[in-house]
Structure 1
Amino acid sequence: MKTFTIATVAAALASSASALPKQPTVARVNLMALNHPVSGKHSQQLVPIDLATLTHKDNLPITGFAIDSISVTVPPAPGQQAITKDDITCQRFQDQWGTQRGSAAFTSSKNASVSTNSVDFGYVLCYVNPTA
């Protein structure tokens, strides 16, 4: 009888215990939106950009971009190394469809210089470089 009571209590406790909330899966690039116009106030702002998603930010003037870091909680594919910021390429576009280039492609080792005067953030697409 004692074993039955202990088993019943243990089962009741196990069924009433709540699981920890699942952490969201994230794959994003943290871009530094640079605003260093020839004349005017200089500023910079960290902007998270989801990988493989054309992203727009309103009311954010820029003159260039730099890749600051990445945040990835997605596990790497079997047999593959986890990606680093060196594996990322980004590019600014002037339109919401990504058909009008607004900058050269840029990486963690080569920043994007978009304009000497402040322009709209536009649309930015970041992706993992393909492997051979």
Structure 2
Amino acid sequence: MWESGRRSGLRASQAYYFRLIHKFMGKSFDRSQALELLSFILLLAGAALVLLPLAAVFWVSLSPSGVGVKATDLTFANYQEAWRRGNFLLAFLNSTLVAIAVTAFQVVTSALAGYALAR
């Protein structure tokens, strides 16, 4: 079941949290275990605090009216309209061109610097 500290089929972080939860299901806690559990709960609460408003904004953006949303009324029409009205294709192409140019320049200058530092 356990292979070199990992549960088969799970990523390392999942296996860590599986062991952490399994450890806390024991009968007694020492101070470090209690602090570790508290930090885990606080991190989960913080992640929910950050991600839930983003999920709500995304959910409402899929609504045709922008107010109450039922699961059957979801549509990507708002994104299509914003793409068309905002001329995002031109902005996307400009950003791509700048990114390619900057990356090429950075590769050349890094190669030259690496050559100079290697000597």
Q: If the TM-score is normalised by the length of the shorter chain, which range does it land in?
A: under 0.3
Structure with the largest fraction of strand = 1
Structure with the largest fraction of helix = 2
Larger Rg: 2
**Structure with higher RCO (Cα < 8 A, 6+ apart):** 1
